Structure 1
Amino acid sequence: MAAATPSAPVARPSQAAAKVKASRTRQKSFRETGGVSVLGRRDRWSTTAVYGAAHYGKSLFWYGGEVLFAFFLTEVAGLTPAHMAGVLAIGFLISAIFDLQAGRILFRRSAGMRRAAGLQSLGAIFSGVALVGVVATALLPFPMRVGWALTTGVLFRLAFAVYDVSQTSLMANATAEVEARSRVAVTRIFASGLGNLSVAVVVGPLIAAERRGGGGVILIALALIAALIAITTAILLNRRLRGPTDTADLHVQSPLKRSGLGLAALWPLFAMMVLMMLGPSLFQKLEPYFATRAFASSTTGGALIIAAAAGVCCGQPLWLMIFPPSRRIALFTVSALLQAAGAVVFLLAPFDAPIAFIAGAWLFGLGNGGLGMAKWASFSDWASRLPAHRQGLAFAIFSALAKITLALGVLIVAAAIHPGVTPEGLRGFMAAGPVLTSIGMIILARRAAPRETGDTLASETMGASPPRTS
């Protein structure tokens, strides 16, 4: 007698509903992208370039906040370090909460590529308006400044949460292969470096203008320019991604996600985000303060910040050529060692040799850019394995952790810039963060980097056939 074939287990109603929802979101993703990458394609760099331009616009806001917000509030607007820390920390924490809420909305609405593109353009518009309000703080009577800076800062963080989470989620829901996500990550970090470089270029003139009492007016003009760039590029990205899909794409099929991977599997990347937003970010926030205290020339101080930003940009083409996805662990390790080496050079440089400080800052930026590329490429690889309706939530948690860590960072900055601090003390703070972060990144690298390459990252979570349509 033939052995009886065991019957398949009957799914419970909740499981069946989850499977139906996951199936619908996979079909939506497949219809929107044609089953292949829209971003990161070798044969269509123009779309990826538009994404890079939009990320450059967003980076002007991000690095403006990273490098200049604290310096602006204390040195231009005249707030005490304690008030500065309160304004920025509250803004970051509220932004983190809103990041999570935005992720929950994306989770419920199963937002795909086109919806995310629309949300990031709306976020850019409101962020630009709020940013101009923040920098207008310096023009108000002093008793009004703390309240105004807090209110406009919170509004900026709320709008930026929508802008950031929706645009960043495109790394997963507008790509279908590991190689495409690596190209998008390189484009993203290169654009970030350009944004950082653009902000760094104005630091020297801003320091000089503030010494003459005109820093506030310059910052308002710069905020208007940054807002115009960010809004324009975000709208261009929205138009590009919401336009009709090339019909040639519809004949290409690739594996789609299954729903077996949970958010808990992304914990090494979440830990990496905390490390990167604490150590290297401390270096960047303290750069303007160190430049004003250590160097009489505003040009030298500006060159120091420019060098770190230039280092981020310089490495991006090399990382993509030398370290394919299969060598992601090596990229993490080499980049971490370069970042730590740059911090050590910066720490040991003699004050009568500014070129040594500049070299250390450049080396720090080179390693930091490599770590950023590896971190974002790995995270988007893992997030792409999640069910489509959970990808927005994953990126929201990633962004929220960054904001919470930055809130802690501004408290450290407030403690570090007390009136009695010396340039030696400041650079000690600046160097310690990147060195400790590099150690942590090397430890986490094996767990964070995808273990498989190609069109499938793990056969147990990918490999479903394209959905059938009637």
Structure 2
Amino acid sequence: MAKRRALPAKGATSDRALAWTYGAAHGGKTLLWAASDLYFTFFMTEICGVAPLYAGLTIGCSLLFAGLADLVLVRWVSDFRSATGSARLQAWGAFASAGALLLFASIAFLPPTIRLGAGIVTLFGFRAAYALLDVPQNALLALAPSNDEQRRRLTAVRNGVGAVARTILAIAFVPVMKGTRPGTSFLLLVVLLVTMALGGAVLLARITPERPLQMVRTVPGPARAHDMLYLTAMMAVLTIVTTIFGQVEPYLAMYGMGGGLSAGAFLGTVAAGTVLSQTVWLRATVRAGPRSLLGWALAMMVVGSGLLIPAQRGGLGGVLAVGAAAALLYGIGAGGVLFVLWSGIAQSGARGNALATIGRFTAIAKSAQGCAIIAVGAMFDGGFARTDGHALAMMMAAATLVGAIVVVALTWVCRGQRDAMLT
């Protein structure tokens, strides 16, 4: 009897298991995405000798294509509105993405004359397949939890695991690419990543509880549309900011801060701030609203990026201390921004049609990321002093400040909406 009585309580007692399984699945998904980006950039610039402008254009256009794939998927699979339906779809998407990435990782074994073309084709193929994994798995933020508190908890786990996954891959990437047979090493790395992603996605599909479809229209249509508009606009702005920061950061680590803080250490410190702060942001929701949390998070990002400017001067010890503090503070702030925005979009998706809501949200984010990569590539190709640490720090600080001002303006505009998320 004890075993049979435990079954009805599955949705209530498996919240922790759901959170960590979702985190593992999201970590595997993040590894696939980061692997394609890291390797393709290296492949185009270092192996094929493509100029930064054209590399940026290719990668940026592939991200724009990824955003379009998200929108097409939303229209194609609009019937997958349940938690279990989305969980099954993301598992199938994991298999499709795994196959596409394995093809992408195999281009090093092709004749040199066709590697570039094959790389572009397989990259775009991966972007299309990835939509089948990304959109429904993100939709589970809204569909799988039983309440908004659990959605916030799931968001915190998601953000933390994703940051760890990106950092681990970035640190492992250099030794893999510097080996005597980088093509073989990368293919073996992708096999490992694919195995992890498939395991997480399949396990998530197996344990996701069925939730009754709650098409509750607690927010009027126009109010909900405005809420989504502001959330999406904020996500687009902050994606551009964080992408510029991430694209410039390796150059800053190499040419700025006296060369004392490596790219891996800097990225690791940013990730540590993101991971360690998720519990704090989650607990802060008890006493503060989303708008207040977003304000504090933006302030930390601005101060952290601003500290990079004085970090370019002084002795090595001072440079390392200020640089590490800047990275940690920026990571904490970025973690807070991600927490607020993804919690808000999960809450909005739970009100109805989560797949379409979150699919459009990710489409805009990927498009913004693509535009930012194209812009950075154009600046570097156009003669921007990418070996000047001070100029790089100024760019990162200015982009963060401008983005924060725009987001604050958006929160001010939507402050009067009674049902808006940021109130």
Task: State the TM-score, normalized to the length of structure 1.
Answer: 0.77
| Contact 1:202-1:302 at 8 Å conserved across structures | no
| Contact 1:189-1:312 at 8 Å conserved across structures | yes
Match among 138, 147, 158 for residue 168 of structure 1: 138
For residues 180-219 of structure 1, what are the structure 2 equivalents within 5 Å?
180-203=150-173, 205=175, 209-210=177-178, 215-219=182-186
Aligned to 2:149: 179
Residue 82, structure 1, aligned to residue 57, structure 2 = no
In the TM superposition, residue 221 of structure 1 has moved relative to its aligned partner by: 3.0
Aligned to 1:130: 100
Q: 1:295 to 1:334 in 2, by over 3 A?
A: closer
Aligned to 2:359: 396
Partners in 2 of 1:299 and 1:219 — Cα distance? 26
| Contact 1:89-1:407 at 8 Å conserved across structures | yes
Q: 1:177 to 1:331 in 2, by over 3 A?
A: same
Q: Give a deviation string over 1:210-244, Cα, whole Å, max 9, x none.
A: 4x7655444333322221111110010011126xx
Partners in 2 of 1:94 and 1:449 — Cα distance? 36
Partners in 2 of 1:76 and 1:356 — Cα distance? 35
Partners in 2 of 1:439 and 1:66 — Cα distance? 29
For residues 391-470 of structure 1, what are the structure 2 equivalents within 5 Å?
391-418=354-381, 421-424=386-389, 425-445=391-411, 447=414
In the TM superposition, residue 340 of structure 1 has moved relative to its aligned partner by: 0.9
| Contact 1:203-1:302 at 8 Å conserved across structures | no
Note the aligned Cα RMSD (angstroms). 3.2
| Contact 2:253-2:261 at 8 Å conserved across structures | no
Match among 202, 215, 223 for residue 190 of structure 2: 223
Q: 1:218 to 1:287 in 2, by over 3 A?
A: farther
In the TM superposition, residue 138 of structure 1 has moved relative to its aligned partner by: 4.3
Q: 1:305 to 1:138 in 2, by over 3 A?
A: farther
In the TM superposition, residue 325 of structure 1 has moved relative to its aligned partner by: 8.0
Q: 1:142 to 1:43 in 2, by over 3 A?
A: closer
Look up the SS of the partner of 1:219 in the other structure. Answer: helix
Aligned to 2:5: none
| Contact 1:200-1:309 at 8 Å conserved across structures | no
Aligned to 2:280: 318
Percent same amino acid among aligned pairs?
25
| Contact 1:416-1:429 at 8 Å conserved across structures | no
Aligned to 1:461: none
How many correspondences in the alignment?
Answer: 405
| Contact 1:182-1:325 at 8 Å conserved across structures | no
| Contact 1:77-1:216 at 8 Å conserved across structures | no
Partners in 2 of 1:46 and 1:177 — Cα distance? 16
In the TM superposition, residue 261 of structure 1 has moved relative to its aligned partner by: 2.6
Residue 47, structure 1, aligned to residue 18, structure 2 = yes
Q: 1:55 to 1:449 in 2, by over 3 A?
A: farther
Q: 1:429 to 1:143 in 2, by over 3 A?
A: farther
| Contact 1:312-1:366 at 8 Å conserved across structures | yes
Residue 303, structure 1, aligned to residue 265, structure 2 = yes
One-letter identity of the residue aligned with 2:115: R
Q: Give a deviation string over 1:223-272, Cα, whole Å, max 9, x none.
A: 22221111110010011126xx6xxx99xx99944684356221011101
Q: Give a deviation string over 1:306-348, Cα, whole Å, max 9, x none.
A: 1111111010011111233852111101111111111111232
One-letter identity of the residue aligned with 1:393: A
In the TM superposition, residue 188 of structure 1 has moved relative to its aligned partner by: 1.3
Greater C-alpha radius of gyration: 1
Q: 1:275 to 1:229 in 2, by over 3 A?
A: same
Aligned to 2:225: 264
In the TM superposition, residue 151 of structure 1 has moved relative to its aligned partner by: 0.3
Q: 1:165 to 1:350 in 2, by over 3 A?
A: same
In the TM superposition, residue 279 of structure 1 has moved relative to its aligned partner by: 0.6
Gaps of 5+ in 2: 1-7
Aligned to 1:369: 335
Partners in 2 of 1:280 and 1:234 — Cα distance? 27
